[in-house]
Amino acid sequence: MVAAASATVVDVRGLTQVFDDPLVGSKITALNHVSFRVRQGEFVSLLGPSGCGKSTILNLIAGFLEPTGGEIWVYEKPVRGPAPERGVCFQEAALFPWLRVLDNVLFGPQAQGRRDDITAKALELLRRVGLEEFKNHYPHQLSGGMKQRVAIARLLMNNPQILLMDEPFGALDALTRLQIQEYLLTIHQEFRKTVVFVTHDIDEAVYTSDRILVMCARPGRIEREITIEEPRPRKREFLTTPDFLDYKRQALAVLWGDKQSEQAV
């Protein structure tokens, strides 16, 4: 369970992101004064339609982009670029096809020249994601869900305190997705990670999150915050409860509201 008084880990202050659009010779305001905080150990989802700026926020927190306005503070320091405390995971697992599963997980620390007992740690992480017996397989011998689990093990190998995940399960079928969500929730709890998770899947956001920041587009902004009170560890039964439906309804009301106002323009 997340203690309400936990320290702020990510502090997004008045974030504005304007991109040049050379094709039409104008500018796109991808984000307009977005502010939110994420506390230690919290699981926060950014939920919203395509183009509302979810990935842009994640890339800014990761330090891959510099904001055109506003600031991001992580552990009370301004973000000036990527750092090992922030681990990033994208929709495609992007494993090295020529490396076995274990070597994919070991790649980062090995590239950094680490000599400590990283193999034992990698095997332990593979065990945690249920893939220890596939350590000698190559990525092409794995299913999409298995590849994403390897990607999670690889992400954890560098021991980031904050996991920034951009639709990591977007390409998976519904059942695999549910299973891997459970892996992620177990890891989130056991390793006490702070997670900022991007999704456009309402069920996924409700099932996994402590809080959902529901976004709207043009310009990208946070329209509503929904706190999911369901205790952890989350049970699959939660998915079929009236509470679950009610949370979904709250999120949909914001997202549909956005569509209706768009149609009215």
Ligand X SMILES: Nc1ncnc2c1ncn2[C@@H]1O[C@H](COP(=O)(O)OP(=O)(O)OP(=O)(O)O)[C@@H](O)[C@H]1O
Map tokens 């945690």 to a residue: 128
Q: Say whether residue 45 binds Mg ion (CB under 5 A).
A: no
Q: Which of residues 50-69 bind Mg ion (CB under 5 A)?
A: 55
CB of residue 77 to Mg ion, shortest distance in Å: 26
CA distances from 174 to 16, 54, 180, 200 (A): 34, 22, 10, 14
Map tokens 């991007």 to a residue: 198
CB 133 within 8 A of CB 127: no
Map tokens 């904050």 to a residue: 162
Map tokens 């680490």 to a residue: 114
Cis bond leading into 67, ω under 30°? no
CB of residue 148 to ligand X, shortest distance in Å: 17
Instruction: Name which of 35 and 186 has its Cβ closer to ligand X.
Output: 35
Considering CB distances under 5 to 8 angstroms, the limit depending on partner class, which of Mg ion, ligand X, none binds residue 53? ligand X
Give the 3-state secondary structure of residue 240.
Answer: helix
CB of residue 55 to Mg ion, shortest distance in Å: 3
Instruction: Name which of 55 and 209 has its Cβ closer to ligand X.
Output: 55
CB of residue 34 to ligand X, shortest distance in Å: 11
Considering CB distances under 5 to 8 angstroms, the limit depending on partner class, which of ligand X, Mg ion, none binds residue 52? ligand X
Considering CB distances under 5 to 8 angstroms, the limit depending on partner class, which of ligand X, Mg ion, none binds residue 19? ligand X
Considering CB distances under 5 to 8 angstroms, the limit depending on partner class, which of Mg ion, ligand X, none binds residue 67? none
Residues that bind ligand X (CB under 6 A): 19, 21, 28, 30, 48, 50-56, 200, 220
- Could you tell me how many residues make up the chain? 265
CA distances from 156 to 71, 152, 188, 192 (A): 27, 6, 11, 12
